[in-house]
Each structure stands twice: as C-alpha cells, then as structure tokens.
Chain A
Amino acid sequence: MRIRAVGVAAALTLALIAAGCGDKANKSDKSGNAAGASAGAKATGELVIWADDKRAAALKPFADKFGTENGVTVKIQAISKDQQTTFVTASQQGSGPDVTVGAHDWIGNLVQNGAIDPVQLSDTQKSGIAANALKAVTFNGQTYGVPYATENLALIRNTDLAPQAPATIEDLIGTGQKLVKDKKAAEILCLQVGQTGDAYHLYPLYSSAGGYLFGTTASGDYNPKDLGVGTPASVAAFKKIAALGEKGSGALKRSITSDNSISTFTGKKCAFLVSGPWAITDVKKAGIKYDITPVPGFAGGKPAQPFLGVQTFYVAAKGKNKALAQEFVTNYVTTPDLAVALYQAEPRPPALTAAFDQVKGTDPDLAKWQAAAKDAIPLPSIPEMAAIWDPFGKAEAAIVGGADPAKTIEAAGKTISGSINK
C-alpha cells in the first residue's frame, strides 16, 4: 500500500514536471532567441503602461491603436495608489512597466533610483511642447519624459458674490471681509491650510511676499545648496502671511483643509477659492458662475508665482521593451490626438501647443488657466524637495495659527537642511 502511494505521488510529480517543462518549452519557442522579449499569445512584443485610474481609461483606445498599427500588444494597467513608490519598487524587482504616466516632480527621485531613461526629442517635437512644460521635465540638462498636460493654481471666483477680480490680495480680503460682514459669505478666502499646512497652495503668496524655496544655478536648475527657507527673506514673507492668519484678518485658517476647501466654495460660503483645474468639475456641477484669474499677490510685492505641475510620460529604465517604449513616448505621445483625449478625460490644459489650440475654442477656461500660469515656475523636481513639504507645511500651519514667524520658519529651515545633508 505504502509503495503504491509513493508511486502515485511520484507519477503525479512527474506529470507536473512535464507540464511545467512543456510550458517552458513553448515559451522559449515563441519568443525565439530574442533576449528579454516576453511571450504573449501572438509572437509580438508587449508594451506595458501604468497610469492612474482616470487616465488609464482614456489611454486605452490609443494604446490599442498603437498596438494594431505596430503589430504589438499594449497593456494598460491602472495603479490607483502610491504610483511613484510602486513604480520604483517594481522596477527594481524587474516587474515594472515599460512606460509610466506621472507628475514631473517625480523625476529627481526616479533618476536617483535609476528608474527612468532620458528621451531624445527632435527639435520639431520640442518646439511643439509648451516651453515651461519642457523646462519642467528637464533635469541635469536631460529631457526625462514627454509632457502632455499642465496644471497650476489660480483664483476661482464666484462672480455672483464678487463680480470684480481682485488686483491684490488686500483687495481680495477687503471684498471678502465685506461679504462676511453682510452675511453673504462665511469665509473670506478658501485656501486650504489644514493642521499640517500645505506648501503647494501657499507658494503663490509666499513668493509674492518675497520668499523662495531653492535658489537656481547658473544653468537655471534648482540649487539644493541654496535653501530659501529660514532666510531673512522667508521670515519677512511669513510676517506678511501671519497678518492673513487667524490672529490677523482670518483669510487663512487651519480649519480650511484639502477636504473642505472646494466644498465650502461650491456651498457658496466663500467667494474666492485658490485651486487648480481639478476643482472645476465640482464647481460646474454646483452650478456656480465663476471666473478664473491669476492668484493675486501682495500690493507692491513680487508677482504671485504658482507652481507649474506637468503630467508626463516616462520610459522605464528597467522595462522589458525599451525600444518600443521609446517609440511610444517620443514618437506617439508627441502627437496631438492623444493629448486631446487625455484632456477630455480630465480638463487640464494640454502641454502640446497643437492640442491646446485644438481644444481652446471649446473651453474658454483653458486660456484663463494659461494666463494664470504666466508667472508660474516648475515645481522643483530635485530629490531634496521631499525634505521641504512636511516641515514647511507645518511651519505654515503654526504661523497661520498665530505662532511667531521668525522662530517658526527658522526652526523649519533647520529641520529641512538637516534632512537634506543627512
């Protein structure tokens, strides 16, 4: 009996081994001797693209088209959370995609992890991309991706409550305070702060008041050795911001958070919202009459500079099919049709000038977003930027809550330079 059991188990094992080997044999047969090519159902190359949920759906038809035109299989995978970290980790393990879609400020981290390859665009292709978008994806003199859409903050205004666009932040506060006094609104301004602050949304005001995060080198790149947080200029800037805080005019409040700033605006509780193109869908749904103008700066101050964010296609350095990925990113993403489709999936201004011109007639907001981006600067993509967000935001929250600006921002500067030099 026992011997028979052993026999049966052994036979089963052999059968399984045979099945395993057979599978293997088929595989190598299909891919021929081509190194690194993956075996699909057909003898073609495969391109794997990662994008977030929304864009994955919009990409699908174009990926299929690219697939049939070139006789390859294209797979789109939606990554809903922590796309950057997932991409870096998966690339390192060899299970990453060939192409990934993401924000341009990932570049520094992706490059230091060897996760993306530069792309070589021709001069014609380069001239078809908005200049500031192209600048944003340039890192250490190399172009690291193809931009397809831009986004930046602007002032969204309820034109029923405030018919006139404010020229300065003082104007805005005057109008806002009057609306609050007349019980037409509950808040002066909806600009998200929260208990831990929000450096991205504060930056227009901070820059207008004379502050900066990183200086620039001679070649125009951000210089991590020149940290602007904690300098006398940043203290002066935060003194101006403190005057807008809870102990000042109350235009900035920690109780206005990323979760309630847009809904407070669409609930008509404030006349002014500082936000980006992503807020417009909600504003339209609420049926509010709105206008989009640049974020105003302080009277007599520097221009208010919002950050420019650029959505980008990257070629993965550890992808299995890099030649095909390069082909898709450099020679296909640079055509306007795809950019238009992605615009339709989410209304952010296309970075390709041809696509922008194609849709601007149907969407009057686009030109306004572009006008609001006139003074915009690319969000720093150097890895050192990771050290800024948290301490800077917390300093903002503390100062808005009434803490001493000089002491707070100098402590934040110390924390930031500490973690940069570590």
Chain B
Amino acid sequence: MAARLVKITLLGLVVAIAIWAAFPLAENHAWIGLGILVATTAGLLYLYLTRRHIPAKYLAPGTLLLVAFQVFPVLYTASTAFTNYGDGHRGSEEEAVVAIQTASVTQVPGSVQYALSIATTGDPATGPLVFLITDPATKTTKAGDAKGLKKLDPADVTVGVTGKVTAADGYTVLTAGQASLRSKEITALAVPVDGGAIRSSGLSRAYEGKAGRLYDKGCDCIRDTTTGKVWKADRRTGSFVAADGERLAQGWKVGVGFANFTRVVTDPDISGPFLRTLVWNFVFAIGSTGGTFLLGMFVAVALHSQRVRGRNLYRVLLVLPYAMPAFAMLLVWRDMFNKDFGLINNFFGIGVDWLGQPMTARIAVLLVQLWLGYPYMFLVTTGALQAIPGELSEASRIDGAGPWQSFRRIVLPLLMVALTPLLISSFAFNFNNFNAIYLTTEGGPFQPDNPANGATDLLITYTYRLAFGGSGAQYGYAAAISIFIFLIVGTISAIAFRRTRAQEEVYA
C-alpha cells in the first residue's frame, strides 16, 4: 500500500510539473515543446501504470535525465554553433526593427513638451485610451487618440496645479495605478500631428516626436526619414547594411552555416599559437593530475602504515586545502606570488617576478594546482588502499618480496584498477580548468607582440578571450570552439578508457 501511495504521489508530481510547464509553453505558442511535453508525460504515465516493460521502468528516469542534462545542452550548443548568436544578434528581425525605430524617435526641434493625463471615454480598464495634453505656455488643452488631436472647451476641463488635466467632461481620467496596468497601450499610442506624433514620456508628460528611421516592407530595408539613406536587410549576416557598407548596430540572429567552424580553422590568431597552447594545455593537465596523484598517493601510503601515530590528526590536516573554497584560494595564491608584496618572495627574501615570466608563471600555476588537488587524490587513494586486502602484501612478504617490490607489484596495480577512471576524469577536468588559470594569471604573462595569447593560456581560457573579450559576446563562435575542444577531450578520454578496460582484463 505504501509503495502504491509513493507511486501515485510521484506520478501526480510528474503530471503537476507537466501542467506547470504547459502554460508558459502554450502562452508562447511553443507547440513543438508542448507536444514533446505531452508525449513524455503520457509515455511516463503509461509506462508506470502497466505491469509490462519492466526494464524500461528502470531505464526511463536515467534516460530522461540524460536527455535533459546531457543530450539537450550538447544539441543546443551544436545548433548555436551554426548561428551568429551574440551581442547585437540576439533576437529576431522584427525585434531589431522595433529597436531601430524606437531608438530613432526624437523630439521635433522647437516643439513643446505637454503635461499629460491619461484618460478614457469608457471603462478605466478596457475603454479606448485618450491623451489629455496641456500646453504649458498657453494652458490650452487638447484630447488626442490614434485618429488625431481635438481641442477641448476650457469650460469642460479642470486643470490641476501641475498643469495636468484632473477632470474633463466626457472623459474618465485614469489614476497612475490604473494607467500603469495599460502600459503597453500607452507606450504604443502615437497621436498623429503635422510633422510627427505626440507620444507619452512616462505617465505625466508628452512630447512631439518623429521617427528618424522607418522600416519599409517593400524593399525590406530601413529608411532614414530626413536624409533618405537606405539600409538593406542582409540575411546572411543578420543586419541592415547601407550601400556604403555602414551597418546598423541592431542586428538579428541568423543561421550562418559552417562560417564559425571555418573561422576557427582559418583564423591566424587561432592557428598561430594553437600548437603551443595545446602542448602547454597537455603539460598542465598531465602535470596537475600526475603531480597531485603522486603526492596524494605518497602521503596516503605513508599514513597507511600502522606505525604512524596520530594518523587521524594528520589526515584531517592534510584534507584542509580541500575543505577551503578553491575560488578564494586561487585569488589568495595569486597575491602570494606578487613580486613586491607577495608572501612567497617576502618569506624567502627573493625577488622573483613569478607571474611576470613564462616559465615561473607555469611553475606557479602547477604549484597552486598541486596544493589544491592533492587532498582529493589522498582521499581516494586512502579509500582504495583500505580496500586492498592486507593478506596480499603479507603473502608477498612471505614469498620474499621487499616493501618496494610488494608495493610496485601488488599494491600499485590494484590501486590503478580503482583509480585510473578517476585519473582520466581528473585529466579531462584539468584540461578545461578555466578557474585555475583565469583567477591566477588570466592566461599571462603575455608576449609584448601578442596580447591575445599568454604563456599559461589553456585552450579554454584562450578561446574565452577570443569569443567574449574582443567585440562583446559571440556565443555562436564560442559554441563552435567548444565543439572542437569537446572533440579533443572526447578523443583522449575514449582512448584512455579503452586502455583502462584492457588493464582491468589483465588484473581482474
């Protein structure tokens, strides 16, 4: 019964989440998304309300999570890589047109600013909107709607101290609260007058404005209303371009095919320092993983010996760096490597410009990595050591093996079976360890003749600078780069895992 209750609650929860998600989808007319949602929910209900398909019952939750958190982001990244999505190209063409037209509305030179009241001839919530405007100089009042302006009889109108109309015959003046509920209509209302239109500036002021640039559907272009200059829509780049090459800042998102990928391959800024960066990237990932592993294992083996007293105290002390937030510690280490004010130079009485020279900067980041990472390796090695039966070492001792031989031939191979997958994942993590570099050296030091690529740059920090540093955020380009990095890391991991499997077969 309890199991059934759990089942009903969980299924109810699934349905509840589905309903909660359905409304925004329906509101935004995202029919494909809604279809997927309905199909998934129906599938789940069917699966768990029948007695059949037992294996699927176990596989479904994992598969769903895999799709949601792995497959979908990968597909989304891949699809972004084929667009120009980024600063200046975020929305649709319609949004760009709206932004261009809105940005071009200026006050007609020499025109007056009016005091504004928002009124209606009907119900405050639904009736047609009217702007009641007062000329501050002449105190004349007019009523305006989408059709045009109409002069009001002063006898029918009460004007307040601020110059705003507070009451008028035939109109209901809206309070700010009422007006604020109809914000979109107020912003959209333009009362046509000669040479422009009267628009609201907030709820209490109106001005006579004129759109300097208008979209022309016939030529699919933007036209300047005073100079007549034309910017034609270019669907390959997602922007309006004039004949003289001038581009309007507000563009839109378009598919650009393989342009981002070819840019990665052909850009001399990337291909030039690519090999050097890749080599250092490997050195960094292998050095970080290997260094922390060797130190962590050494300490773990040393503390594994029964003869060491106060082992638990040592263990607690050793794990401390792991307990501190890496984020803050990276910044602390960066300051400790400061040439004139850093703890390290002050302590040893030396004047090494640690982060200012390529070799010392590389050593510095590896040292920081060692300090940050060895507690993890120490923990996992300790765990793995404890799982190795003591009899094995004992047997080898009886057979005449020395301690080193016993470690080398018995303990280490068994440890590696357990730890190799962890080492591979640690390698993959460090290969893309953005924080470790960005928070300490920011990729520097940089060669004077190349500010784009530094001595400690990893591929990920380097490409981050290319995609987000120069001309704003270029998500499409960044996505293309990240696919390349994924391919590199994926290949290495695949090879490494295959080798591990071979190793397991030998020792299992």
Contacts and interface: CB of A to CB of B under 8 A. Distances in A.
Interface of A: 2, 5-6, 8-9, 12-13, 16-17, 20, 24, 31-37, 43-47, 69-72, 85, 88, 92, 108-109, 111-114, 117-120, 122-123, 140-142, 187, 195-196, 253-257, 259-260, 264, 317, 320-324, 326-331, 383-384, 386-387, 390-391, 394-395, 397-399, 401, 403-404, 407-408, 411-412, 415-416, 418-420, 422
Interface in B95-111: 95-96, 98-99, 102-107
12 contacts: A17-B19, A34-B182, A34-B185, A71-B180, A111-B250, A112-B251, A114-B91, A118-B102, A322-B187, A395-B451, A398-B446, A408-B449
Given A112-B87, A195-B445, A326-B200, A13 B472 contact: no
A400 to B, nearest CB: 10
A32 B19 contact: no
A88 B452 CA distance: 26
A24 B23 CA distance: 9
Given A112-B249, A195-B441, A16 B16 contact: yes
For the complex of A and B, list the 8 residue pairs with the smallest distance between their C-beta atoms, beginning with the closest: A45-B180, A419-B470, A114-B99, A71-B177, A327-B202, A70-B176, A403-B448, A112-B249
Judged by DSSP, the binding face of B is mixed
* Most interface-central of A34, A118, A253 (chain B CB within 10 A): A34
B450 interface: yes
A45 B441 CA distance: 48
B451 A394 contact: yes
A12 B17 CA distance: 13
Interface in B449-474: 449-452, 465, 469-473
A11 to B, nearest CB: 9
Nearest to B20: A20
A114 to B, nearest CB: 3
Contacts of A69: 176
A109 B470 CA distance: 13
B444 interface: yes
Given A112-B249, A320-B183, 14 more contacts: A17-B19, A37-B184, A114-B90, A114-B95, A120-B205, A142-B104, A195-B355, A255-B340, A264-B341, A323-B186, A383-B471, A391-B452, A398-B446, A401-B445
A72 B203 CA distance: 12
A45 B23 contact: no
Interface in B308-350: 331, 335, 338-342
B103 A418 contact: no
A111 B249 contact: yes
Contacts of A44: 177, 180-181
B51 interface: yes
Contacts of B445: 195, 397-398, 401
A33 B8 contact: no
Interface in B432-454: 441-442, 444-452
Contact of B126 (A32, A112, A321, A387): A32
A224 to B, nearest CB: 10
B435 to A, nearest CB: 15
A37 B181 contact: yes
Nearest to A254: B356
A324 B180 contact: yes
Given A45-B181, A323-B187, A395 B88 contact: no
B169 interface: no
A20 B413 CA distance: 59
Contacts of A398: 445-448, 451
Interface string B4-37: 1001100110011001100100000000000000
A195 B442 contact: yes
B201 A34 contact: no
B78 to A, nearest CB: 20
A234 to B, nearest CB: 14
Given A322-B187, A327-B202, A422-B471, A32 B88 contact: no
A132 to B, nearest CB: 21
B176 A327 contact: yes
A390 B465 CA distance: 9
* Most interface-central of B11, B180, B184, B187 (chain A CB within 10 A): B180
Nearest to A24: B23
